[in-house]
Structure 1
Amino acid sequence: MNQLPTSALLSDNMNKAREYLRRFRSQVVPHRIGGHPGLSDQTFENLDPSDNSVLCMVASGGEAEIDRAARAAEDGFRIWKDVPGDRRRALLHQIADQIEARAEEIALVESIDSGQPIRYMAKAALRGAENFRFYADKAPEVSDGKSLPTRTHLNYTLRQPIGPIGIITPWNTPFMLSTWKIAPALAAGCSIVHKPAEWSPLSAVILSEIMTEVFEKADLPPGIANLVHGFGETAGKLLTEHPSIRAIAFVGESVTGSHIMAQGAPTLKRVHFELGGKNPVIVFDDADLERARDAVLFMIYSLNGQRCTSSSRALIQRSVYDRFVSDLAARVKSIKVGQPLDPSTEIGPLIHPRHAEKVLSYAKCAAQDGAQIATGGGRALNGKGNFVEPTLFVDAQNTMRIAQEEIFGPVLTVIPFDDEADAIRIANDVKYGLAAYIWTGDVGRAHRVARDVEAGMVWVNSENVRHLPTPFGGVKASGIGRDGGDYAFDTYMEQKNIAIGLDRHRPPAIGVR
């Protein structure tokens, strides 16, 4: 069968998206608390990033909604924590089945809602199903502990779910990142209250519907999974402060993470943060430069540059700097900016006009600080919507704002370095430490630099390729805790030690005369 031309695929995608979005446009998008859709006294506008028209109206949660959701999560937790692991596994696989069945809907809705190109969103929806399947298979063994015998006692450990979890997720690839938090929390036996980002709330509604349907069919309390829309300053703050919520899993920028820590302190809230990054990609002169170039381009310009692990600082050894920068500039100029539902689009609109203005402001910063703008730096598509040109800053110094601050857009800052020690110094001279990428043909150098760079994750001669059993998270201002594998359960479960006496010895006597 011949593939349809791009124009026909775009038209088909637009027609399907229009149908999927009809229900969101026809009424206020509700919360889902204890399995029931609900509204609030307040609403907010959800904008279409392509033209900033009102996509739909969304209920804005406050104290009453958060309290109801937290109490519903308490009720759900009392049942869910005792559901056997084999049954939890089956139910989470059912959720994954439904995600796969609705993958097209999720991808098209999220592409419109977030501005992300459809070429990436289809994969993001399926990765969400993969997350649920991975943690479904963990559920039967999640409580297993260790046996630690001594001569006098048999010690053994158990892992037990901590309680209701508040999950606050971001607006970039929101569906996949929501499943990345929700799946392990449910596998652990915790209930959840999910507050999605107000700038891209719609795919969270679909996920909530799927989970509610699965739990209701299983005759389980719908309060296991709850959804409350709203703003971080109100709904997010109230969720963090609520005494029934035992932990907060948050993905977002670092300043918000520090606010959440302060808000959760009075209730000694456990926190799990995946925060910002200013990730270096270090290219040595002995690297495969073509592969390195392609990886650099993919990791900063895919997903509109709105990803925490983007290679936003390219550190290039001086001996190959001019050649590498020339190749980069030529490729960046050819990147296609367009409508997100167009299969040929490589960069869509940024999420919100406020964010687009922030990203655009860095062109002025670069010029003021003395960096060169090799290409980009302005609005694309005649200024309509939140479209920003793919931008390349070159000849930068690491002290510049464009090298220190997380821009979170299709913007790459290129910095030259002299030798291995210089590269490590520049890489570490930021407040962040999420990811790093190293390109070299020297195995010894790869190990040395990977050891010394301050990052929670390092890829050598590779872009970011996730392997679900491995730990994912950052150091310094880039996060607390780890996702992935069993590491995620450190947030959602408590360790308990049980000691059984093995001999008949008496305790030391007290009060005996």
Structure 2
Amino acid sequence: MTQTISPNHDLARRLREERLIGGLQHFVGGQWVASSSGETFDTHSPVDNAFLTQVASGDAQDIDRAAQAAHEAFRTWREVSGAERRRILHRIADLIEARAQEIAVLESIDTGQAIRFMKSAATRGAENFRFYADRAPGAGDGQSLPAPGFINYTLRQPIGPVGVITPWNTPFMLSTWKIAPALAAGCTVVHKPAEWSPVSATLLAEIMDEAGLPGGVHNLVHGFGESAGKALTEHPLIKAIAFVGETTTGSHIMRQGAETLKRVHFELGGKNPVVVFDDADLDRALDAVVFMIYSLNGERCTSSSRVLVQEGIYDEFTARIAERARNIRVGDPLDPETEVGPLVHPRHFEKVMSYFGKAREEGATIAAGGERVGQAGNFVSPTLFTGARNDMAIAQEEIFGPVLTAIPFTDEADALALANDVKYGLAGYLWTNDLTRAHRFAQGLEAGMIWVNSENVRHLPTPFGGVKNSGIGRDGGDYSFEFYMETKNIAISLGTHKTAKLGVGQAPKVDKTVVEG
């Protein structure tokens, strides 16, 4: 592992002293508060699993306080003009940019993600707020739908207080991705971040408060899914739940919210294929395949964790992947040279490590990696499985680490069948120079997002989301407003239509003996 000492370490020590020694609290109604119960939990550094900080542990009472605050704030926030919401959201973006290095270092300390990627994550967070800030003035816009004798028009209104539950991988960016459109729409928010990576959520709350967001518009409650999370999904004042995380948890949330008929938006798991045909630009395809599985420690929902390679180029292409995997720099996430840092938590580390034995048992070959790196922390070597079949656990289950499964295919029909033969359908990647095949294959692929001859390059106005077990709903552009807002139709009569008349004639006589009998 690399052990280079960089200026990031000095900043990290200072940030630990300034921000983490006192522990993390909830932010409710514009105030930093401890848990009602006084309970806390500890969080640890993925680098060595040493104590990092103490965190307030929320329960149903804390969630109720936050939901009540969001409910009260909604009465005024929904009336704030789009122009004023735009001003505040741009101010939030300014402060994120001003503190980008601080955000990146804290995120690396908390999650184990390499600092080289966390710098861009902070920048993406600012971009998310700017994008939705500029859409805030038009968030309520609808359509004119004239009909004979009527003028119909629609408008959109914020749904109310919403719950946002975010995951432990790149938590800062993903929090902004959910919270920014909610605020732009006129909703208020109760945010429950993942307990494995709570630090940057606290920083985001500080930034929004400093930017002038009114108290109660954004509320933060730390805690565990089975306590704080469950209370949030069941609370009657919370009108919708936006969740990013694991598929099984999504199904629990749907059940918990059913009693109160909550609207849900889920971005869940994936086992995304990248399909490489023999006519592709193989050098560019190689770069994209390696980047999309080994960057961000492989802990991303859109990672291309299955590579399907045409038979004629399978051996050569997978050999090139293996060579690149063996050369990836694993080490201290604060080192600018590090490409893969430690996995977020010992429990997740053990899960990822368990697939190396499964691969051998099922008959796959470990062409690269497949082992722990170092004796401390949660470091895993970038791994490639070859000789795999699509019915193996390593091809069907979401491993969520720097682990790639390579499967050969014969022709287009075989590739499409393999690509679709999983329960997930979040993203897909296709490499070919055959334009007709590219369109045909992309339209047949069961996934919500498909990139042709590219890695995941996000364009914020486009829809983001999956099919099958990968999610419900779409983020991005106006698609987010469809979730956070209700559409209302108003019909204005021009006075020209005729209304049927009832009760204008003489009522017939009724035989009371028949009625009473």
Structure 1 length-normalised TM: 0.97
Q: Supply the AA of the counterpart residue of 2:253.
A: I
Which of the residues 62, 68, 74 maps onto 1:77? 74
Gaps of 5+ in 1: 1-5
Q: Secondary structure at the match of 2:212?
A: helix
Q: Supply the AA of the counterpart residue of 1:446.
A: A
Q: Is residue 459 from structure 1 mapped to residue 456 from structure 2 by the alignment?
A: no
Alignment match, 1:491:
483
Residue 490 of structure 1: how far off its partner (Å): 1.2
Alignment match, 1:432:
424
Alignment match, 1:89:
86
Alignment match, 1:256:
249
Cα distance in 2 for partners of 1:61, 1:195 equals 9
Question: Residues 198-240 of structure 1: CA distance to partner in whole angstroms, max 9, x if unpaired?
Answer: 0011110010011122236xxx3x1000000001111001000
Cα distance in 2 for partners of 1:325, 1:29 equals 45
Judge which range, 38-47 or 297-306, deviates more.
38-47
Which of the residues 220, 240, 246 maps onto 1:247? 240
Q: Secondary structure at the match of 1:149?
A: coil
Cα distance in 1 for partners of 2:255, 2:122 equals 33
Cα distance in 2 for partners of 1:462, 1:506 equals 59
Alignment match, 2:12:
17
Which of the residues 285, 289, 295 maps onto 1:296? 289
Cα distance in 1 for partners of 2:224, 2:212 equals 27
Judge which range, 21-30 or 335-344, deviates more.
21-30
Cα distance in 1 for partners of 2:497, 2:200 equals 61
Q: Supply the AA of the counterpart residue of 1:402.
A: I
Q: Secondary structure at the match of 2:216?
A: helix
Q: Supply the AA of the counterpart residue of 1:26.
A: I
Q: Is residue 449 from structure 1 mapped to residue 446 from structure 2 by the alignment?
A: no
| Counterpart contact for 1:28–1:39, Cα < 8 Å | no
| Counterpart contact for 2:6–2:336, Cα < 8 Å | no
Q: Secondary structure at the match of 1:278?
A: coil
| Counterpart contact for 1:70–1:193, Cα < 8 Å | yes
| Counterpart contact for 2:72–2:216, Cα < 8 Å | yes
Which of the residues 382, 385, 410 maps onto 1:393? 385
Cα distance in 2 for partners of 1:346, 1:445 equals 34
Q: Is residue 348 from structure 1 mapped to residue 341 from structure 2 by the alignment?
A: yes
Q: Secondary structure at the match of 2:366?
A: strand
Cα distance in 1 for partners of 2:255, 2:212 equals 34
Q: Secondary structure at the match of 2:155?
A: strand
Residue 504 of structure 1: how far off its partner (Å): 4.2
Gaps of 5+ in 2: 506-517
Q: Is residue 283 from structure 1 mapped to residue 276 from structure 2 by the alignment?
A: yes
Residue 506 of structure 1: how far off its partner (Å): 4.4
Question: Residues 135-157 of structure 1: CA distance to partner in whole angstroms, max 9, x if unpaired?
Answer: 00000001000000012100000
Cα distance in 2 for partners of 1:123, 1:494 equals 33
Alignment match, 1:33:
28
Cα distance in 2 for partners of 1:25, 1:180 equals 25
| Counterpart contact for 1:446–1:460, Cα < 8 Å | yes
Alignment match, 2:151:
154
Q: Is residue 472 from structure 1 mapped to residue 474 from structure 2 by the alignment?
A: no
Which of 1 and 2 has greater Rg? 2
Cα distance in 2 for partners of 1:480, 1:128 equals 23
Residue 369 of structure 1: how far off its partner (Å): 0.4
Cα distance in 1 for partners of 2:459, 2:248 equals 28
Regions of 4+ moved over 4 Å:
none
Cα distance in 2 for partners of 1:129, 1:310 equals 23
Residue 18 of structure 1: how far off its partner (Å): 1.2
Residue 412 of structure 1: how far off its partner (Å): 0.2
Which of the residues 300, 324, 337 maps onto 1:307? 300
Alignment match, 2:170:
173
Residue 503 of structure 1: how far off its partner (Å): 2.1
Cα distance in 2 for partners of 1:81, 1:463 equals 38
Cα distance in 2 for partners of 1:52, 1:363 equals 22
What aligned pairs does 1:122-137 form with structure 2 within 5 A after superposition?
122-137=119-134
Cα distance in 1 for partners of 2:131, 2:501 equals 53
Which of the residues 219, 228, 233 maps onto 1:226? 219
Which of the residues 43, 47, 65 maps onto 1:46? 43
Alignment match, 2:140:
143
Q: Secondary structure at the match of 1:223?
A: coil
| Counterpart contact for 1:24–1:56, Cα < 8 Å | no
